[in-house]
Amino acid sequence: MDLSNSIESNEAHPTKQIFILSGQSNMAGRGGVKHRHWDGVVPPECSPDASKIFRLSSHLRWEVAREPLHHDIDAKKTCGVGPGMPFANAAKERVGVIGLVPCAVGGTAIKEWARGTELYESMVKRAKAAAHGGGGEIKAVLWYQGESDTSSQHDVDCYKESMERLIENVRADLDLPSLPVIQVALASGGEKYIEKIREIQKGIELPNVVCVDAKGLQLNEDNLHLSTEAQIQLGHMLAQAYLTHFLG
């Protein structure tokens, strides 16, 4: 894959510590979204920082990161506040310049992230583009997905193997065998099977995989998506997990 023309000159941007944001709608961000409209409220914890926090656009160009981070990635849905900006603001003082790579798409099941699918291949392409030409070093995948797999026993039965294979494939395809993965245990989903998916998520025992638990965080009126305040809390939880487990 030729990435020589994909990324604008890195001279304008410092070398970044790169984090891949992936999964489904709660990673893409629905904080402040009601009736398919985002209220536009950006709390201080989600504020842009033109010197420290960048995002990779859908056109593979670095730009100053600002909410909603996934507006051109999860483009068929209305995006609002997600965990990416509060994560970056909480981590930047210790991590340095941060490059966020939004990849999450709402309503997607784990099978849609298998190697060879459009979503998976796009995520790998974007991650490689972000690091290309000295753009930075990929430090971790932040993963929040599973609500779409809480509707049947069949989905539950497949989830653990599918999630572990996803992690192994991403590490292999990025040639980063020890790449940290921080996944989120669900806060919402189909009531019948949500606890089974959560148990699987908390029970993944691959090396360099940690889990933060979103259970109990405030939801929007739809009882599915995290509120703006909850997204800030989750971003801080993700930052603390990264700083504790992976930044010596």
Model pLDDT for residues 107-159, shown as the tens digit of each residue: 999 999 999 999 999 999 999 999 997 789 999 999 999 999 999 999 999 99
Q: Which of 13, 70, 71, 225 does the annotation list as catalytic?
A: 225
117 found inside a domain:
yes
Query: Distance (Å, rounded) from C-alpha 120 to C-alpha 241?
Result: 24
6 found inside a domain:
no
Q: Which amino acid is at 108?
A: T
C-beta of residue 97 within 8 angstroms of C-beta of residue 14:
yes
161 found inside a domain:
yes
Q: Which of 25, 148, 188, 227 does the annotation list as catalytic?
A: 25
- Look at residue 75 in the predicted model and tell me its pLDDT: 97
C-beta of residue 107 within 8 angstroms of C-beta of residue 149:
no
3 found inside a domain:
no
184 found inside a domain:
yes
3-state secondary structure of 231: helix
- Look at residue 135 in the predicted model and tell me its pLDDT: 83
88 found inside a domain:
yes
- Look at residue 1 in the predicted model and tell me its pLDDT: 43
* Active site annotation includes 222: yes
* Active site annotation includes 25: yes
Q: Are strands 62-64 and 136-144 parallel, antiparallel or unpaired?
A: unpaired
3-state secondary structure of 97: coil
Q: How confident is the model at residue 186 (pLDDT cuts 50, 70, 90)?
A: very high
* Active site annotation includes 236: no
Q: What is the CATH classification number for the domain harbouring 117? A: 3.40.50.1110
- Look at residue 34 in the predicted model and tell me its pLDDT: 94
7 found inside a domain:
no
84 found inside a domain:
yes
Q: Which of 39, 72, 157, 222 does the annotation list as catalytic?
A: 222
Report residue 194 as tokens: 């949500």
CA 116 to each of CA 123, 169, 178: distance values in angstroms, whole numbers, following the listed order? 11, 10, 22
pLDDT surpasses 70 at 11? no
- Look at residue 190 in the predicted model and tell me its pLDDT: 84
- Give residues with Cβ within 8 angstroms of 161, minimum separation 6: none
**Percent of residues, the chain, with pLDDT higher than 70:** 94
Q: What is the mean pLDDT of residues 32-37?
A: 94
Domains identified in the chain, total number: 1
- Look at residue 2 in the predicted model and tell me its pLDDT: 42
Q: Note down the domain range covering 168.
A: 12-246
Report residue 204 as tokens: 């993944």
Report residue 246 as tokens: 């992976």
- Look at residue 133 in the predicted model and tell me its pLDDT: 78
For residue 204, what is the enclosing H or E element? none
Taking residue 121's Cβ as centre, other Cβ atoms within 10 Å add up to 12
